[in-house]
A and B are shown apart, each in its own frame.
Chain A
Amino acid sequence: MSKQTLINNSRFDRMILFLNKILLVLIVLAVTIPIAYVVVGSFLKPNILLNQGISFNPDHWTLDGYRRIFEDGSIVRGFLNSVLYASGFTFIAVSFTVLAGYALSVETLVGGKIITVFFLFAMFFNGGMIPTYLVVRSLGLINTPWAIILPGAVGVWNIILTRTFFKGVPKELKEAAEIDGASDLRIFLSIILPLSKPIIFVIALFAFIGQWNAYFDAMIYLNDRSLYPLQLVLREILVQNEVPPGMIADQLARAEMQRAAEMIKYSSIVVASLPLMVMYPFFQKYFEKGVMVGSLK
């Protein structure tokens, strides 16, 4: 290859790299602008937002949307319900998964293969929405938190993940403990568990976020409004356009009500999304780890 083409190549390369930078900036803007718009919109007086769009004049700003949200109980109660469901779901998901994963990682376990097949089969086949609903109903779980917490808690994939992880724990550790006379339970509690903190954390993280953001099971299984998780309350406000009457009761004119309702949409999005938005950067490392073990093993 002549010198001339080499130089041409590198000039062309630099152009590509420059284009790449511009594109990445555009992508970052495309992601941030809609989010920023909602956040700024939540602080703007609704008529300003509607007629002028985004404005940074402090006279146009207000906390009215947030005040309305916190004065009415719906969002707060939904928030607390969501904390309860997501925590319960996470606790069951993690504990059941880790216990089963550990048992299956013991290579001498009699019947281990059959039980593994039992789990794997459930991963590929399912009865579908209606038969599952009928089971939950016949167990009397409709309109109880258990309908949200129990059915999806044991993820077969997570069991396989933890099993693989435990198999990687050096055998010598276990053998040494066995020689010292430790029981299975003791080995699990004082050797295996402390070692498996990272994988437990990853499973817990994904379980909690998944449940926090889910609405469908709650929509199917709960009809009592006082049990609604946050996402169902949000669905009423954002999708069904039914702002809880308590939030806008002080407005008499219909047009004023609608404006207040519009503002409440923005601020409820912020209130609902803020916790995860603030927290996830701290867990970035774990997400990357979780996605990696989850997709490639």
Chain B
Amino acid sequence: MKQPEDVINKGLMKDIKYDHKSKKESKWAYMKKNYILYLFLLPAVTLVFIFNYIPMYGVLIAFQDFSVTRGIFGSEWVGLSHFRSFLTSPNFFQIFSNTIKLSVYGLVIGFPVPVLLALMLNQVRRAKIKKNIQLIVYAPHFISTVVIAGMIFIFLSPAGPINALITQTTGDSIAFMSNPDYFRTIFILSGIWQGAGFSSIVYVAALSNADPQLHDAATIDGASLLQRIWHIDVQVLKPVMAVLFILAVGGIMGVGFEKAYLLQTDMNIPASEIIDTYVYKRGLLSGDWSFGAAVGLFNTVIGLILLVIANGVIKKLNGETLY
């Protein structure tokens, strides 16, 4: 009778031999045997290829005078001329600074709100009340951008309720939507109204995972409520905030375009025209394909650079200030 070890060894040898035969062949054999997995991948790969990769190639039209009839192969190459004409156009500075201001102000003012809200909710001891408050503050998140814009127009119109209050107290009325000075405030505050509640979910969850014994120990040591919030709760939230902040900075150049477009009126354009709305108007509405693609590419590149910078800054800050 054979020793069991022999059998095992033989089996192993067989496997090794098979592997040595040809790596390519065994890969093919694997793929043939598991073809179903590749079929599973096919639909997603196809859609991503068509709607993500082909447009990446299509970015080339930013360097052309693209005409639809001649296509990418037949259109004339013009190098960086579209970028040059955008950067030197008289409204470049305004559009660029509108974009940056709208999103940087929005980030600086809007980012801390969900954090504060979560810290406040965390102090609500009764679970049921906490749950109900959360349910209410989530609600605006489920209202569409179009409806939010519609509500803003209704509330801020010269005949709307806000102006009715203002007229009662001062006798005047304010043309909110046709004054560029108010645009950013309206945009950012309505964004907080709509999004802060839902954005607080992550922070609330992070806080509920924090060790309650820390609080007990700190209380016994005589720490006040604010001290405990600062030294325990805020520290728990820091890593989450860092990740979300990096992501937010990376999204700065693409911020709120759909809402900005809806809130645009002829009169508030000096503050409400941002790069993406400009791309849409010049590229799609006026059919200036190449110019639009060039401005869009410019926007994407700035966004990527900001993402990399934010990542670096946060890394450095976290390395230095976290204890």
Q: Is A135 an interface residue (CB 8 A)?
A: yes
Q: Is A159 an interface residue (CB 8 A)?
A: yes
Q: How far is the CA of A122 from the CA of B44 in the complex (A)?
A: 12
Of residues 259 to 297 in A, which have CB atoms within 8 Å of B's CB atoms? 265-266, 269, 272-273, 276-277, 280-281, 284, 287-288, 291-292, 295-296
Minimum C-beta distance from A216 to chain B (A): 5
Contact A99 B44 (CB under 8 A): yes
Q: How far is the CA of A86 from the CA of B131 in the complex (A)?
A: 29
Of residues 194 to 220 in A, which have CB atoms within 8 Å of B's CB atoms? 209, 212-216, 220
Contact A239 B262 (CB under 8 A): yes
Main secondary structure of the interface of B (DSSP, over half): helix
Give the residues in chain A near B304, CB-CB below 8 Å: 124
Known: A27-B117, A128-B279, A129-B292. A295 touches B202 (CB 8 A): yes
Minimum C-beta distance from A120 to chain B (A): 11
Q: Is A32 an interface residue (CB 8 A)?
A: yes
Q: Is B106 an interface residue (CB 8 A)?
A: no
A240's nearest neighbour on chain B, judged by CB, is B262
Contact A135 B202 (CB under 8 A): no
Contact A273 B44 (CB under 8 A): no
Minimum C-beta distance from A113 to chain B (A): 13
Tell which of A15-23, A63-71, A245-253 binds the partner: A15-23
Contact A131 B59 (CB under 8 A): yes
Give the residues in chain B near A134, CB-CB below 8 Å: 55, 58, 61, 68, 289
Mark interface residues in B257-283 (1 if CB within 8 Å of A CB, else 0). Answer: 010011000000000000010011001
Q: How far is the CA of A258 from the CA of B120 in the complex (A)?
A: 44
Q: How far is the CA of A12 from the CA of B41 in the complex (A)?
A: 60
Give the residues in chain A near B138, CB-CB below 8 Å: 280, 284, 287
Contact A96 B43 (CB under 8 A): yes
Out of B117, B147, B224, which one reaches A234, CB within 8 Å?
Answer: B147
Minimum C-beta distance from B208 to chain A (A): 10
Q: How far is the CA of A209 from the CA of B151 in the complex (A)?
A: 19
Main secondary structure of the interface of A (DSSP, over half): helix
Contact A269 B151 (CB under 8 A): yes
Contact A287 B293 (CB under 8 A): no
Q: Is A75 an interface residue (CB 8 A)?
A: no
Contact B225 A16 (CB under 8 A): yes
Q: How far is the CA of A272 from the CA of B258 in the complex (A)?
A: 18
Minimum C-beta distance from B16 to chain A (A): 18
Contact A153 B142 (CB under 8 A): no
Q: Is A61 an interface residue (CB 8 A)?
A: no
Contact A295 B244 (CB under 8 A): yes
Contact B31 A20 (CB under 8 A): no
Give the residues in chain A near B197, CB-CB below 8 Å: 31
A102's nearest neighbour on chain B, judged by CB, is B40
Out of B36, B164, B243, which one reaches A184, CB within 8 Å?
Answer: B36
Interface size of B by CB at 8 A reads 84
Known: A27-B137, A28-B137, A97-B44. A292 touches B205 (CB 8 A): yes
A212's nearest neighbour on chain B, judged by CB, is B144
Known: A125-B56, A288-B205. A100 touches B293 (CB 8 A): no
Give the residues in chain A near B53, CB-CB below 8 Å: 122
A292's nearest neighbour on chain B, judged by CB, is B205
Chain A contact patch, size range:
35 or more
Of residues 220 to 262 in B, which have CB atoms within 8 Å of A's CB atoms? 222, 224-226, 240, 243-244, 258, 261-262
Give the residues in chain B near A193, CB-CB below 8 Å: none
B299's nearest neighbour on chain A, judged by CB, is A128
Q: How far is the CA of A6 from the CA of B149 in the complex (A)?
A: 50
Minimum C-beta distance from B53 to chain A (A): 7
Minimum C-beta distance from B188 to chain A (A): 15
Of residues 1 to 32 in A, which have CB atoms within 8 Å of B's CB atoms? 1, 5-6, 9, 12-13, 16-17, 20, 23-24, 27-28, 30-32
Q: How far is the CA of A104 from the CA of B42 in the complex (A)?
A: 12
Contact B201 A287 (CB under 8 A): yes
Contact A96 B44 (CB under 8 A): yes
Of residues 104 to 121 in A, which have CB atoms within 8 Å of B's CB atoms? 104, 106, 108-111, 115, 118-119
Give the residues in chain B near A265, CB-CB below 8 Å: 150, 154
Contact B224 A129 (CB under 8 A): no
Q: Is B1 an interface residue (CB 8 A)?
A: no
Contact B284 A220 (CB under 8 A): yes
Mark interface residues in B16-53 (1 if CB within 8 Å of A CB, else 0). Answer: 00000000000100110010111011011101101111
Of residues 119 to 153 in B, which have CB atoms within 8 Å of A's CB atoms? 120-121, 123-124, 131, 133-140, 142-147, 149-151, 153
Known: A129-B279, A231-B144, A292-B202. A135 touches B153 (CB 8 A): no
Give the residues in chain B near A295, CB-CB below 8 Å: 202, 240, 243-244
Q: How far is the CA of A152 from the CA of B150 in the complex (A)?
A: 25
* Residue with the greatest number of chain B CB neighbours at <10 A, chosen from A16, A103, A156: A103
Contact A150 B51 (CB under 8 A): yes
Q: How far is the CA of A115 from the CA of B43 in the complex (A)?
A: 13
Q: Is B100 an interface residue (CB 8 A)?
A: no
Given contacts A115-B45, A273-B147, 14 further A-B contacts (CB under 8 A): A13-B224, A20-B124, A23-B120, A27-B133, A106-B37, A110-B27, A125-B56, A126-B52, A127-B55, A131-B55, A132-B58, A135-B58, A150-B47, A184-B37
In the A-B complex, the 9 residue pairs with the smallest Cβ-Cβ separation, listed nearest first, are A127-B55, A238-B150, A131-B58, A128-B296, A213-B144, A100-B44, A131-B55, A13-B225, A122-B52
